[in-house]
Amino acid sequence: MEPLDRDLDEASLDLPSEPMLLNMGPSHPAMHGTVRIVLELSGETINKADVQIGYLHRGFEKMCERGTWTQVFPYVDRLNYVSPMLNNVGFALAVEKMLGVTVPERCQYYRVILGELARICDHMICSGAMAMELGAFTPFLYLCRAREIFWEIFEEETGARLTHSFGRVGGMARPPTPDFKAMVRVGLARVLTLISDAEKLILKNRIFLDRLDGIGRMSQEDALALGWTGVVLRATGVPYDVRRANPYMVYDRFEFDVPVGTRGDNYDRFMCRQEEIRQAARIIEQALDQMPDEGPINIDDPRIVLPPKEEVYTTIEATIQHFKIVMEGIKVPAGECYSYTEAGNGELGFYLVSDGSGTPYRVRIRPPCFATTQGLSQLITGLMIPDVVPTFGSLNMIGGECDH
Amino acid sequence: MTVVELALAIVKILIVVMFLLNMAAIATWADRRQGAMVQDRVGPNRAVVYLPSMIVRGVVFFPPALLGALAVFTATRAMPAPVAVEALVIGAQFAVFVTWLGLLVFCAAARRGGPINAAEEALARFDPRSIFYAGVMAHVLAFFVTQAVPLSAAPTAARVVCVLLGALLVVTGAYTALRVPEGKVALRLLGTLHAAADAIKMIWKEDFIPPKGDRLLHSLAPLLAMFPALVTFAVIPFGDKLCFEDNGDGVFGFADLPLLKRTVDQAFTCGGHVASLQVADLNVGILYIFAMAGTGIIGAALAGWASDNKFSLLGGLRAASQMVSYEVAMGLSVVGLFMIYSSVRLGDMVQWQAEHAWGIFVQPFAFFLFLAALAAETKRIPFDQPEGESEIVSGYFVEYSGMKFGMFMTGEYVELITSSALLVTLFFGGYHLPFLDRDGINVVFGETVLFQYKMTHLAVSLTYALAFFGKTILMTWVQVFFRWTLPRFRYDQVMRLGWTKLLPLTLVNMMVTGIVVLAVDSAPEGLRSGLQVAADVSHALVAVGGFAAVVALIAGLLEPIDRQRTLASTSARFAAAAGGTKASPQQA
């Protein structure tokens, strides 16, 4: 029998330790099926994180180049699929900027209200999912219930619960329903109570706060260098909100605050979202008061807006006009423009190039998530595996707009 | 061990295992499956068994009719005075119960489906809650009225009450059978069929073993996880000792079983044979539970290792370290109780609590420490890091499917029930109910006797057993409540909490308890009798509080749901116009 310790010296008695590589995602409950993080672990601590995106890449920008300008709307619905209305409005504004037209005031208010409703949905789901991934299931159910109220309103207004495709160049697909204001008022009050109920469950919970407080901190300089915008940037203390910095539509007429954080950690991001929900509710209330009940929704330009259906079926001019817009598309003058709005996650920009035909020459988007996701590996390096969950959740990375 | 003792042991094991497995299924449903129902997703929770109305009528009619026949049969038997008193009291209570429950059911049916006759119309006008309150008052009234019946008149009164009860049961059963609608009746059982559907699904699913995993250990782990959970219940008493009289041969045989002693005194002086209502009355008592719970770690650790999956490995590591750490705190947190109860046998502990005060009053601090340690030991939120489904997918059982996964789940939920039973036994008086002694109800404060009512041995033992299972179910509900409310800790926070907070606190608790126990032991007689009065007051608090809680709970369940409806969307309005009930989320 051989001696067991035949050629062991002191050093080789130590256990060999090498970092463990762990593939987190894309099929991982916290990764939403849209991202993969290759983690280099020592124990549970993350030494290195390699964030790999692209699992939801659909060639969106290329797809836009093969239809008319109006046919892009269904695609932008699927960018940030948590708040499609904001993308609709953003794209409509971009094309209108190229055309040099402004929609009637009533439509602007309508867009603001629908957009802010979508923003509330977006923030609610982000916060709710974050709480759920930390194990607190009930707040998520409360917030889903709240979202359901708004989705009913969207269903009533647009006919679709999620992918509305409701925006149009020069207006909206349909005017508001007669009950629109009453519905939003009733729904908003219910949603705000549900949100406070959900907050009561988690914001006094020491376990929940311990999981968020001081985790995933980002400095102002780094956030700006990475090109962060939206809630994640404001949580670091930079008060940059497109609605305030560069007011579009009628945002300059509303009183609202831009909540900012101080440390840029998960807690700040969570609380900024919650406060933004309340500010959005304020905007909606003011907009409901100011929005005229009568008046056109679409601009009065037969080259851009489809004629009413009864005229299409009765007059030859309207028939031809309808045919031209549908088959050839709206003729956007040649040129290029960059238009940006405040979407659910931050600055959503559209860089459009037109060659004067009815089809976009190039649609390039600047998704807020793309910049945000760049910072993820920096955020989670040095943390533990469980910290990935709230950190990733608080960034609200949406694969649809990130992979463009 | 005689043959009859063996037979009794088998019966006891069957009772315990049936209780554990059934409750585990229901707890799984309450814990994991309710999400589907809350979110209104279509799933097996919508599973319905359609029964022809004739069968439903039979199911509704025959059990009450049988009970009624039994009551009438009792009335025809000869009754000595003490039995007659008991029959009178129980019969009257039962009759009151049947009356208000029947009225409540008919009221609800009339409100929901519309009254079918004038009596129901009148009934439907009552608030269900007032029917219930009237019922509670009738219970109390009936108790005192039956107490007032003189001993000589008891047999006659008992016969009248029994016949009355029989008639009432038959009438109620028949009327309920009449109310069963024609055609098929949907039996949904609140969605608890979901648990059955889950079990069927798991049995038929593929049993997957990772190709590079360890086949033997992979198959062994679920067994090791489930076995300790089941066997820990063995030492928990689910009822008081039973005393059988001897039939003359001096040996405990089957012939002795019908000879259950009619009454026992408080000290349980039993001349015949004693049978305890616990599977194994071990002298190591609770230490056996800790030993067995310690074995549960191996199952989780093996599963994590044998699965050949990095998430499993992390889960197994977390499970092992967490359970080992909290085992220490768990064991030390109840040392204070051992000092006070001066025993590690669970039966003795319950007896101490019955004679003095419940554990929650003497060791409130230990209760919270033990609860936290127990939650960590059963790997439930907020301590479910080993599973941590959003972090490490499912932790140590991520590579399990089919019935092996089912065994992990069953083990986890059996552990939940067992831990609830343990909490009940250590801190909530086990099977004991306040003021219910072995010889009946004795409302005594110190030396002052306020009220006494003698009960038979059988009645007391049955009440004890029901109380134990009821308390366990309540405790399980509380633990399910936690899971639905709390988020989970981070792994290192758990370890820090265990070693730097819980462990020192348990040590402090131990020291303080030791000092207090010494002080009380050497205290003058006056102080000790004062403590006994305080203990009796704690019993009174539990009795009043428990009664109020039960009444409030039932009244709360009966509260009419005040739905505020805003038909804001056209689809909801269309549905309402068509007579449908599209539940609009705008409802309050």
Across the interface, of A138, A386, A389, the residue whose CB is closest to B484 is A138
pLDDT of residue B585: 45
Residue of B nearest to A183 (CA): B568
Cβ atoms of residues B464 and B268 within 8 Å: no
Residues in B touching A44 (Cβ below 8 Å): 314, 491-492
pLDDT of residue B586: 45
The pLDDT of residue A55 is above 80: yes
Residues in B touching A185 (Cβ below 8 Å): none
% of chain A exceeding 70 in pLDDT: 96
pLDDT of residue B576: 67
Residues in B touching A144 (Cβ below 8 Å): 39
- The DSSP output letter for A172 is E
Summarize pLDDT for A131-175 with one digit per residue, the tens. Answer: 888 888 888 888 888 888 888 888 888 888 888 888 888 888 888
Q: Which amino acid is at B365?
A: F
pLDDT of residue B36: 60
Q: Which residue has the tokens 């647009």?
A: A158
The pLDDT of residue A291 is above 70: yes
Query: How would residue A7 be classed by pLDDT, with cut points 50, 70 and 90?
Result: low
pLDDT of residue A286: 92
- The DSSP output letter for B305 is H
Q: Which amino acid is at A330?
A: I
Summarize pLDDT for B249-269 with one digit per residue, the tens. Answer: 777 777 777 777 777 777 777
Which residue, A295, A321, A337, A356, is CA-closest to A96? A337
Query: How would residue B584 be classed by pLDDT, with cut points 50, 70 and 90?
Result: very low
Q: Which residue(s) pair with B275 in the sheet? A: B242
Query: How would residue A114 be classed by pLDDT, with cut points 50, 70 and 90?
Result: very high
Summarize pLDDT for A331-346 with one digit per residue, the tens. Answer: 888 989 999 999 888 8
Residues in B touching A135 (Cβ below 8 Å): 381-382, 384, 390, 486-488
pLDDT of residue A8: 55
CA distance A384 to chain B (A): 9
Prediction ipTM score: 0.78
Q: What average pLDDT does the segment A227-248 reach? A: 89
B38 in contact with chain A, both atoms CB, cutoff 8 A: yes
The pLDDT of residue B497 is above 80: yes
Q: What average pLDDT does the segment B312-319 reach? A: 88
Residues B6-25, buried b or exposed e (16+ Cβ, 10 A)?
eebeeebeebbeebbbebbb
pLDDT of residue B565: 58
Query: How would residue A116 be classed by pLDDT, with cut points 50, 70 and 90?
Result: very high
Which residue, A351, A348, A392, A319, is CA-closest to A79? A348
Burial grade of B585 (CB within 10 A; 0-12, 13-18, 19 or more): buried
Contact A385 B314 (CB under 8 A): yes
CA–CA–CA angle B538, B521, B354 (5° rounding): 35
Measured from the Cβ of residue A319, the count of other Cβ atoms closer than 10 Å reads 14
Summarize pLDDT for B199-242 with one digit per residue, the tens. Answer: 888 888 888 888 888 888 888 888 888 888 888 888 888 888 88
Residues A121-135, buried b or exposed e (16+ Cβ, 10 A)?
bbbbbbbbbbbbbbb
Is the backbone peptide bond immediately before A26 cis, with ω within 30 degrees of 0?
yes
Task: Report the alpha-carbon distance of residue A103 to residue B484 in Å, rounded.
Answer: 48
Across the interface, of A131, A135, A201, the residue whose CB is closest to B382 is A135
Residue of B nearest to A179 (CA): B568
If DSSP codes are grouped into helix, strand and coil, which group holds residue B322?
helix
Summarize pLDDT for A62-110 with one digit per residue, the tens. Answer: 888 888 888 899 988 888 888 899 999 999 999 999 988 999 999 999 9
The pLDDT of residue B587 is above 50: no
% of chain A exceeding 90 in pLDDT: 19
pLDDT of residue B24: 86
B73 in contact with chain A, both atoms CB, cutoff 8 A: no
Mention every residue, 6+ apart, whose C-beta is less than 8 A from residue B157: B84, B88, B146, B149
Summarize pLDDT for B279-304 with one digit per residue, the tens. Answer: 888 888 888 888 888 888 888 888 88
Summarize pLDDT for B505-545 with one digit per residue, the tens. Answer: 999 999 999 898 888 888 788 888 888 888 888 888 888 99
CA distance A199 to chain B (A): 12
Task: Report the alpha-carbon distance of residue A113 to residue B551 in Å, rounded.
Answer: 48
The pLDDT of residue A120 is above 90: yes
Task: Report the alpha-carbon distance of residue A381 to residue A310 in Å, rounded.
Answer: 62
Mean pLDDT in chain B?
Answer: 82
pLDDT of residue A1: 47
Task: Report the alpha-carbon distance of residue B489 to residue B507 in Å, rounded.
Answer: 23
Which residue, B181, B238, B188, is CA-closest to B468? B238
Q: Which amino acid is at B372?
A: A
Long-range contacts of A272-279 (CB under 8 A, 24+ apart): A272/A231, A272/A234, A272/A235, A273/A123, A273/A126, A273/A127, A273/A231, A274/A123, A274/A127, A274/A195, A274/A199, A276/A119, A276/A123, A276/A231, A277/A119, A277/A120, A277/A123, A277/A124, A277/A195, A278/A192
pLDDT of residue B569: 60
Q: Which amino acid is at A135?
A: G
If DSSP codes are grouped into helix, strand and coil, which group holds residue B134?
helix
User: Which of B577 and B353 is assigned the larger pLDDT?
Assistant: B353
Longest alpha-carbon distance in chain A? 104
pLDDT of residue B568: 56
pLDDT of residue A192: 92
Q: Which residue(s) pair with B384 in the sheet? A: none
Task: Report the alpha-carbon distance of residue B161 to residue B94 in Å, rounded.
Answer: 10
The pLDDT of residue A37 is above 80: yes
Q: What average pLDDT does the segment B21-39 reach? A: 75
Cβ atoms of residues A44 and B491 within 8 Å: yes
pLDDT of residue A112: 92
Which residue, A54, A158, A254, A133, is CA-closest to B488? A133
pLDDT of residue B41: 58
Summarize pLDDT for B388-415 with one digit per residue, the tens. Answer: 777 888 788 888 888 888 888 888 888 8
Q: Which residue(s) pair with A346 in the sheet? A: A343
pLDDT of residue B346: 87
Q: What average pLDDT does the segment B426-439 reach? A: 86
